[in-house]
Amino acid sequence: MKISNKILLLFVSMCLVFCTKNADNIDPNTGTNPIDGTVGKGQAGINGIGSIDAWDKLATTEKNRIKDWNTIFMHQSVGGDLEDGANNNGFKFEYFDLNEKPKGLSGNVFSASNGNPIGKIAEFKNNALTHKSIIKIAILKFGYADINDGNVEQVKTAYKTLIDDLRSQIPDLRFVHVTPPLIYIVSKDDGNAAKMKIAQWMKDTFKDKDSIFDLQEIESDNGSCSLNGVLTICNKYRSTSGCPSKNQGVDAPEGQGHLCESAATRISKAFLYSIYQAGK
C-alpha cells in the first residue's frame, strides 16, 4: 500500500472516531434540528410549574432558537402580561396582523371583545390562514372573561373545530394550547370552575399531539390556592398595588386575574418553554 493511501485511511479512521456525533453524546435538551430557524418534530405534553425551572436550565443557544420560529400569539390582557414577562426575559413578541407578516415570535390583541370566545376563534383562524405559508406555531389564549358555565360545550366544539381545520389546511403547523387564566375569588366562584373544565378538556384532548401551557396549574400553585375545591389565582401572583401588572393596572379586590409584573416574568418562562417544546 502506498504511503498516501495509508495516510488517507488513517484520516478516515480518525474522522469516524472524533467527527461522528452519536446519540450518546447528544445533549438531551437539544432539539433535532440545527440553530437555523428550522422547526423540529417537537415534544407533546403538559408544561406547568416544572417548566419554569426547565427553561432556566436550557442552554442559551437552545432558548434563542424560538426567536426564529414564526409564531403567532393572539390574546388580550393576561396575554399582554405574558408578553411583557417574556420581554423582561429577553424574548420580545413583535407585532403582526392581517397585513403585517409574522416574523419570529409575533403577537397581537384580539379585536373581538372579552366575553366573545367564538369571535376570537374566528378571528384567530382568519389570521392563521392569511399567513399559512409562513407560520410554524400557533397560540390562541382565551381571556378570563371568555369562559363561563353557560358556554363550556360551545367553546369546546368551536375550539376543536378550529384546531382540526388548521391542521387540515396547514399540515405542518404546531400548536401551543393555553389553559384559560383564572380570576381571584375570595367569596364565591365566578367562572373558574368552568375554566377548569376547559383546561382539563384541553389536556385530555391535545396532550398526546401538542404542547400545552398549563397556566392554571401555575397560577394556582398546583391547586394550593382554591375556594371550596375551585381553583383561584394565588394572591401573590395577581396584580395588586404592591405589584401591579405592567400594562393592566391594579386588579379589583375580587373577580379579575391580571399578573403582577414580577410574577409574569417568572410565569412567562413556562410559556416560552411550551413554545420550545412545540418546535424543538
pLDDT single digits (tens) 24-54 = 333 444 444 444 578 999 999 999 999 999 9
36 or 66, higher pLDDT: 66
Cβ atoms within 10 A of the Cβ of 89, count?
18
Q: What 3-state DSSP class applies to 138?
A: strand
- Which of 2-16, 44-58, 84-98 is predicted least confidently? 2-16
Q: What pLDDT was estimated at residue 34?
A: 45
Mean pLDDT of 136-146: 98
For CA atoms 29, 31, 36, 39, give the dihedral sign: negative
Q: What pLDDT was estimated at residue 1?
A: 47
Whether residue 186 contacts residue 253, with contact meaning beta carbons closer than 8 Å, is answered with yes
pLDDT per position as a tens digit, 163-200: 999 999 999 999 999 999 999 999 999 999 999 999 99
Q: How far apart are CA 234 and CA 38, in angstroms?
A: 38
pLDDT per position as a tens digit, 91-115: 999 999 999 999 999 999 999 999 9
- Which of 13-17, 23-27, 60-64, 148-152 is predicted least confidently? 23-27
Domain 46-279 has CATH 3.40.50.1110: yes
What are the residue boundaries of the structural domains of the chain, listed by start? 46-279
Q: What pLDDT was estimated at residue 38?
A: 87
Q: How far apart are CA 49 and CA 60, in angstroms?
A: 20
Q: What confidence tier does 90 reach under pLDDT thresholds 50, 70, 90?
A: very high
- By the 10 Å C-beta count (0-12 exposed, 13-18 middle, 19+ buried), 143 is classed as buried
pLDDT, the chain, mean: 90
Whether residue 135 contacts residue 128, with contact meaning beta carbons closer than 8 Å, is answered with yes
> Which position has the grid cell 390562514?
129
Q: What pLDDT was estimated at residue 37?
A: 74
Report field, pTM of the whole predicted structure over 0.85:
yes
Whether residue 191 contacts residue 183, with contact meaning beta carbons closer than 8 Å, is answered with yes
User: What is the separation of C-alpha 170 from the centre of its chain, rounded to a whole number of angstroms?
Assistant: 19
Kindly report the backbone phi and psi dihedral angles of residue 125, in degrees, each rounded to the nearest multiple of 5, phi listed first.
Answer: -60, -40
DSSP conformational letter for 140 = E
